[in-house]
Each structure stands twice: as C-alpha cells, then as structure tokens.
C-alpha cells in the first residue's frame, strides 16, 4: 500500500521533471542553432560541427524523449542502404525492444560487407540462421573468452605502460597509444597485423566508416573503401596461405582457425577464415581507439571525475577506474545510435500514447545515447556516477548483434588508459592540439595530452 501511494506521487513528479528538462533542452538546441549563424566557414559546416557534439545530441534527444519519443520520417535521407524512410526511437524500453526483435528489425550491412569481402557476407550483416550460427560458433572456438584475461589483457597492459613511459610527458594518443595497442593485439593475438601498423590502421578505419558511418554514400569514401578492401583481402589471403605453407607454433587466432579447418569445422575454409578475420579486424582497431579518446576527453572536461579516475588508477582500484571510463562513455559514446531496417510493418510501443507503426523498409534509429539518459529507467541520469550497474550501458550494441569483441573492449580500454591516468598533472596540450581532431572517417587522428614525466 505504501509503495502504491509512493508511486502515485513519484510518477507524476518525474514526468513533470522530464517535461521541464525537455523544454530546457529544446531552448538550448535553438540557441545552438542560432549561434551557428555567425562564424567562419559555411553555415552548413558550422551547423554540422555544433550538432555533432555530444552535449548537443543529448539535448536534442532529451527534447524528443519528453515530447516526441518515437518519430517517423517518410523522407529518405540515408543513401548507403536501401530504405523507404526512417524512424527515431529514444526511450530505453523501446530502444532495447528494437534491438531484440531480429525478425522485425534486421541489420542492413550485408550488401556493403559483400563488397568488402568480394562476394560473401560476414556474421555482423546476417539475420538469424544457420550461416550466422556457424560462423559465430566457429570464431568463438578460435577467439575464446578466456583469452581476454589470459592473453589479451596482460600484453595490452604491458605495452600501454611502455608507450606512456617512453613518451616523455607528451603523447599524441591515436598514433602513440590508442591505435598502437589494439593493432598489436591484431598482430600478436589474431596473427594478422598487416604489412605494417599504418596500413592496418588505415584499412580498418576506412572500412568501418564505409560500413556504419557513410550514410550519405560518399563517392570518395566508396572509392577508398574498395581500394582498401582489395588490399586487405590480398593481405589476408596471402597470410592464410603462408601460414599453411609454413606452420608456426604460435597460439594465435589464425592458427586456431587452421586447426579447426583441419578438423573439418564448417565455415573454416580458407575463404571463410579470411572473411571472418576481415570482419573482426574492421571492428577491432578504430573503435577501441575512438572509445579511449572520447572517454579521456570527457574526463578532462570533468575535473572531479578525472580526479576520481586518477585516484583509482594510482591506488589499484581497477573496478572504480573502469566505472569512471564507462560513465564517461555514457555521456559521449562512439555510436550514439544503432540502426536497423523493418522487415515488415512493425509496431513499437504498442498500446501506448507513443506507439508508432514502422513501415516495411524503413530504417529505425535506436538512440542508445538517449536510452542511457532515460530518467524512467536511469536514476539521476544527468549526474556522473560510478555506482551504476553494467547493464546501464549500451556501448557496443545489444542483443544478437552485440559487438563480437565486447569483452575485449571492456578489458583493453581501461588497460590502455590506466598508465596515463596514473601520471601527475594529466592535461590537454595547449590550444587545438589538445582537442580531438578527426579525419574524413570521423575517427580521432590527433589528440595530444601532457603530464609531468617522472
């Protein structure tokens, strides 16, 4: 009875607060738009820069959650994948619902994945079925969860410590640390690091962006992707052939794949090994680097949070340090939305005032950034807190197509940043050098930090 009475008071109060937050966010967004009328460059560029910022995105999503939580747009603005329009879903319950309904909302990446592999799909672009289960199961045998703590994490930690120690108190994060550690993982753990670190880092950044970020279907990006995909395929084909011709005793993923092939495991032909490795590599390097940069960037904007993370790193409280990083990424994730396409007419939030029918062929943008700030499910969402359960975070997808390397990400990101957080007087470099600079693939290319060298 007391609980019922409490809900009668709490629910309306919470809804009023949501409306007030949404109204204030809408005013804030309008102000940001007006501020773009003045400045250097074109109006389009100024607007794009302002609305690409995470605080602006959070404000837009706050307003939508409050007043238009589910929106359908008949206009087709995504050119990279076939669609008949788009819907935007912002409440946590609806976001998770979309990501769990694989029969209604499919992944769309298959056509471009086939372009990258030269004909075959990769399990990230597959719907539920035999091929998906075959490939995921086979790769789980080759890349085991126990490897994360036994192989990946120790080497990543040691390498990160070495790179930070040798930097002399000034470090450009992407080329000097956050790209190097995951590349080393592809080289030593997967066994296919490329002809060089630079080549593999370039290939994977371009191809990842082509698959997931090139919504406008840029001809220039497409041309680069086809070139880099061809080079990556040639490299992987040669690597598989060379390893079969001259076996090694390395306990790496490539050797395990070849052992599974020898045992007759379905999906482990030379072509299957190459395609699965290609798909995994594309997601391994640029996303880890970007997440590291965004997490540290967010901490540097929050002195109290940075101090907490640094105390935890120095005292050896790994869990608290990691919580600081996940909370930083909640405020600024590397993927603020996850998109799917309706396989048939499908209803979202049935029997509610926010119910919408998504027509077959429409893209659905499930805003995971918004879901992590939904006051209906997340206590004190606008506060930076380190006591949130892991389930709060939707950083690498959810459901069947949650990131294959999610456990690696969860281990390696704190390992990469811990040596930096332990340093005294960690700070941005002066001026623009201390801000994240991205290229045409939207991945960090420069982000310089400084600290007091021991």
- Model confidence over 193-250: pLDDT tens digits? 999 999 999 999 999 999 999 999 999 999 999 999 999 999 999 999 999 999 999 9
CATH value at residue 112: 1.10.630.10
The rounded distance, in Å, linking the Cα atoms of 15 and 22 is: 10
Q: Do 16 and 56 lie in a common domain?
A: yes
**What was the pLDDT predicted at 2?**
46
Lookup result for tokens 């080759």 = 142
The token pair at 386 is 């380190």
The gap between the terminal CA atoms of the chain, to the nearest Å, is: 61
* Of the residues 15, 49, 67, the one at which a domain ends: 67
Phi, psi angle pair for 374, to nearest 5°: -75, 110
Same domain? For 320 and 432 the reply is: yes
| Co-location of 41 and 177 in the same domain | no
| Ordered DSSP codes for 9-57 | HHHHHHHHHHHHHHHHHHHHHHHHHHHTTSSSS-HHHHHHHHHHSHHHH
Q: Taking CA 160 as the corner, what is the angle to CA 166 and CA 454, rounded to the nearest 5 degrees? A: 40
355 and 300 inside one domain? yes
Whether residues 124 and 23 share a domain: the answer is no
244 and 355 belong to one structural domain: yes
Q: Which two tokens stand for residue 437?
A: 């600079």
Note whether 115 and 44 are same-domain residues: no
Question: At which of 26, 41, 67 does a domain end?
Answer: 67
Residue 371 near residue 394, CB atoms below 8 Å: yes
Q: What are phi and psi of 79, to 5 degrees?
A: -105, -15
pLDDT of 439 reads 81
Number of domains forming the structure of the chain = 2
pLDDT-flagged residues of the chain (< 70) = 1-10
- Compute CA distances 369 → 22, 374, 443, whole Å: 15, 9, 18
Q: What is the pLDDT of residue 165?
A: 97
Confidence at residue 12, expressed as pLDDT on a 0 to 100 scale:
83
Compute the radius of gyration of the chain from its Cα atoms: 23
Measured CA to CA, the distance from residue 26 to residue 18 in angstroms comes to 12
Encoding tokens for residue 112?
Answer: 């471009």
Are residues 412 and 427 both part of a single domain? yes
Torsion angle (degrees, nearest 10) of CA 289, 295, 300, 304: -150
Cα-Cα-Cα-Cα dihedral sign, residues 106, 340, 81, 222: negative
pLDDT of res. 37: 84
| 230 shares a domain with 321 | yes
d(CA 305, CA 223) in angstroms, rounded, equals 42
357 has which bridge partners?
Answer: 347
Domain closes at, from 16, 42, 67: 67
What pLDDT score does 97 carry? 97
**pLDDT for res 428:** 98
**Do you know the residue count of the chain?**
454
Q: How far is CA 452 from CA 171, 309, 391, 421, in A?
A: 11, 17, 36, 12
pLDDT at 128: 85
d(CA 168, CA 324): 26
Which domain does 50 fall in, by range? 1-67
Q: Cite the DSSP H helix spans in 286-440.
A: 286-300, 303-315, 318-331, 368-371, 406-421
Q: Let me know whether 307 and 243 are in one domain.
A: yes
- The answer to whether residues 8 and 85 belong to one domain is no
Give the number of other CB atoms < 10 A from CB of residue 117: 21
**Pick from 324, 408, 397, 333: which is nearest to 124 by CA?**
397
- For residues 294 and 329, the answer to whether their CB atoms sit within 8 Å is yes
Residues 6+ apart with CB under 8 A from 188: 155, 252
Q: Where are the alpha helices (DSSP H) in 246-364?
A: 253-262, 270-284, 286-300, 303-315, 318-331
Pairing mode, strands 170-172 and 448-452: antiparallel
pLDDT at 414: 98
Q: Could you tell me which of 129, 259, 145, 125 has the C-alpha nearest to residue 191?
A: 259
Question: 41 and 99 share a domain?
Answer: no
Residue 102, phi then psi, degrees to nearest 5: -65, -30
């Amino acid at each position: 009875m007391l609980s019922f009475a409490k809900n009668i008071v709490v629910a309306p109060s919470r809804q009023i607060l949501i409306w007030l937050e949404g109204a204030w966010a809408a005013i804030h967004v309008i102000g940001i738009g007006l501020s773009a009328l003045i400045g250097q460059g074109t109006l389009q560029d100024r607007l794009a820069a302002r609305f690409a910022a995470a605080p602006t995105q959070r404000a837009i999503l706050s307003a939508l959650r409050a007043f238009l939580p589910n929106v359908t747009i008949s206009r087709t603005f995504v050119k990279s994948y076939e669609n008949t329009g788009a819907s935007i879903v912002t409440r946590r319950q609806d976001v998770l619902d979309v990501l769990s309904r694989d029969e209604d909302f499919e992944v769309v990446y298959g056509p471009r994945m086939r372009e990258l592999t030269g004909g075959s799909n990769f399990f990230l672009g597959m719907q539920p079925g035999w091929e998906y289960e075959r490939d995921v199961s086979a790769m789980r045998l080759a890349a085991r969860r126990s490897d994360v703590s036994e192989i990946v994490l120790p080497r990543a930690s040691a390498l990160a410590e070495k790179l930070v120690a040798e930097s002399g108190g000034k470090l450009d994060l992407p080329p000097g640390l956050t790209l190097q550690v995951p590349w080393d993982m592809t080289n030593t753990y997967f066994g296919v690091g490329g002809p060089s670190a630079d080549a593999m880092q370039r290939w994977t950044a371009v191809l990842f962006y082509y698959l997931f970020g090139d919504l406008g279907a840029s001809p220039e990006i497409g041309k680069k992707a086809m070139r880099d995909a061809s080079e990556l395929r040639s490299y992987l084909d040669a690597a598989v052939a060379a390893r079969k011709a001259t076996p090694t005793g390395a306990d790496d993923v490539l050797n395990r794949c070849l052992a599974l092939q020898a045992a007759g495991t379905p999906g482990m032909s030379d072509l299957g090994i190459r395609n699965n490795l290609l798909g995994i590599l594309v997601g391994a390097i640029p996303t880890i680097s970007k997440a590291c940069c965004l997490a540290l960037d967010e901490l540097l904007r929050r002195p109290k949070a940075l101090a907490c993370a640094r105390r935890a790193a120095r005292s050896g409280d790994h869990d608290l340090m990691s919580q600081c990083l996940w909370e930083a990424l909640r405020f600024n994730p590397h993927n603020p939305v996850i998109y799917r396409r309706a396989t048939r007419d499908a209803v979202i939030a049935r029997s509610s005032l926010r119910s919408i029918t998504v027509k077959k062929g429409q893209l659905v943008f499930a805003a995971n950034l918004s879901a992590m700030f939904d006051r209906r499910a997340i206590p004190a969402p606008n506060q930076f807190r380190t006591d949130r359960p892991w389930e709060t975070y939707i950083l690498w997808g959810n459901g069947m197509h949650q990131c294959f390397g999610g456990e690696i990400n969860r281990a390696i990101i704190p390992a990469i940043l811990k040596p930096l957080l332990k340093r005294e007087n960690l700070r941005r470099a002066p001026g623009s050098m201390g801000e994240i600079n991205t290229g045409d693939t939207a991945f960090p290319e420069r982000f310089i930090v400084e600290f007091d060298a021991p």
